[in-house]
Structure 1
């Protein structure tokens, strides 16, 4: 199941792009079935629920009358639906239940979150992250370092160039900054790190003070909202070309 989670993002991208082509061609799933394309199979591909063969994508593009550009890009993307994300190289450092979120986070264009008790992993300094894991006596020193590296790797998305780095908006409850993690030196380092992140053009970090009293964030607790860019075939083709250039 862990591997399947790693493929979720490209599958969904491909599915949305194929659905857009089908809609533009004014073909319904029922009429596609009449043309000897199984309705259930097409539905699973469009919703990103199953593996996708390049041959199936090629047939669907021909059915929709797609030109060579989207057909080639989407067929190539079908091959990438089996590729693993960077997080797979960390093995057990990322539990199965968290892999899906890491994959979705890496594909998001806008990340909004409210954190009530701790500075979130995407904003933690190395020293702070190490201090958080110091309390986990069941992990070894080597495992602790790998856990920290995962957090730092997740932070890299704020600085990436291709695809464009997501916009990040974070609201921290004041309690997250008053709770001592590690020692005073670690806390000072963490505050400096927050200031640095807040200066990024695509990031905003705000603090909700105690004096705000009861608020909606206190009712809901910590939460994250991820927004994703529209994944039409044109954007998919552009992203595929960018990936090829990086290789």
Structure 2
């Protein structure tokens, strides 16, 4: 069934993320809306709109007052302040080291609440599909000053994220297109890559996961190179949520990430993904190729 994109909403991602952060912080204190609003001399509707991400003009001083009222630590307050200082826009560039620290990892919160993920990767495996060794090898290069304990923590977080694919109740639906580059570019050594490919083939047999390989011979199905991207779709019927978060396109780069939520942007990436799927091997043929590459890595050790 073709996806029909909803009309553009009035809220934007930074505002919704700020609202979610403050709502969760208030809930953790046990305060209701009336009590929390009174602490900062607001009305209940004003705070409610802020928590739903529907407030366009935000004063940083008000956000800091709420953070103090909720007893938030310095790191969380810094995230809230950074989100408050973002200019509302349907396209949002989150630069690492900018107002919002890289360690805040806002993407993870979105990923965990999505009901379906549509993923294209051209060079590196998506974190949800990485083995522990693959993930740690990459992190050791990208974070050269990190301790072994720090690297282990990063990998544990990635493994925790992967549970959304394998949980018994309502696992996330995932459609993936991997360029053949991803499978043949060696991370670590051949033994590691063989194990990684076998993991891909195995997890691709799950009913909620479809993995297709875009072979070299497919060329450029869109006539241009595409960045790695993830489309996140959310459940409109989540209890306690008014309406649905709009679908998001997430494109991660070396120095930062782009979040797109305009209907035209989401539609364009969704159409691009369908073309990539059409040019790819089907799921069974893709698994056969992945296993063949795994055997080749094994034989070349």
Same fold (TM over 0.5): yes
- Structure 2: segments with no counterpart, 5+ residues: 1-15, 25-42, 57-69, 77-100, 243-301
* Among 154, 175, 184, the residue aligned to 2:181: 175
User: Secondary structure at 2:188's aligned position in 1?
Assistant: coil
Q: What is the Cα deviation at residue 47 of structure 1? A: 3.0
Aligned twin of 2:197? 191
Aligned twin of 1:76? none
Q: What is the Cα deviation at residue 149 of structure 1? A: 1.0
Aligned twin of 1:130? 136
Aligned twin of 1:31? none
Aligned twin of 2:146? 139
* Among 191, 195, 206, the residue aligned to 1:200: 206
Q: Can you list the C-alpha shifts for 1:87-133, whole angstroms capped at 9, x where unaligned?
A: x9xxxxxx646522101100000001101110111100111112212
Q: 1:218 to 1:131 in 2, by over 3 A?
A: farther
| Alignment partners' CA distance in 1, 2:132 and 2:138 | 10
- Counterpart contact for 1:112–1:169, Cα < 8 Å: yes
User: Secondary structure at 1:231's aligned position in 2?
Assistant: coil
Aligned twin of 2:230? 224
Q: 1:46 to 1:130 in 2, by over 3 A?
A: closer
Q: What is the Cα deviation at residue 48 of structure 1? A: 6.5
Superposition TM-score, scaled by structure 1 size: 0.58
Q: 1:192 to 1:147 in 2, by over 3 A?
A: same
| Alignment partners' CA distance in 2, 1:114 and 1:225 | 9
* Higher RCO (C-alpha under 8 Å, 6+ residues apart): 1
| Alignment partners' CA distance in 1, 2:18 and 2:160 | 16
- Counterpart contact for 1:111–1:227, Cα < 8 Å: yes
| Alignment partners' CA distance in 2, 1:6 and 1:170 | 30
- Counterpart contact for 1:112–1:224, Cα < 8 Å: yes
| Alignment partners' CA distance in 1, 2:146 and 2:199 | 26
| Alignment partners' CA distance in 2, 1:5 and 1:111 | 19
- Counterpart contact for 2:175–2:210, Cα < 8 Å: yes
Aligned residue pairs, count: 168
Give the CA RMSD over aligned residues. Answer: 3.4
Aligned twin of 2:163? 156
Q: What is the Cα deviation at residue 41 of structure 1? A: 4.2
- Structure 1: segments with no counterpart, 5+ residues: 13-36, 51-81, 89-94, 237-247
Residue 15 of structure 2 corresponds to residue 8 of structure 1: no
Q: 1:228 to 1:134 in 2, by over 3 A?
A: same
Q: What is the Cα deviation at residue 193 of structure 1? A: 0.6
| Structure 2 counterparts to residues 1-247 of structure 1, below 5 A | 8=20, 40-47=46-53, 96=102, 99-135=105-141, 136-162=143-169, 164-216=170-222, 219-231=225-237, 233=239
Q: 1:126 to 1:132 in 2, by over 3 A?
A: same
Larger relative strand fraction: 2
Q: Can you list the C-alpha shifts for 1:2-57, whole angstroms capped at 9, x where unaligned?
A: xx959738959xxxxxxxxxxxxxxxxxxxxxxxx77644433433769xxxxxxx
Superposition TM-score, scaled by structure 2 size: 0.48
- Counterpart contact for 1:6–1:103, Cα < 8 Å: no
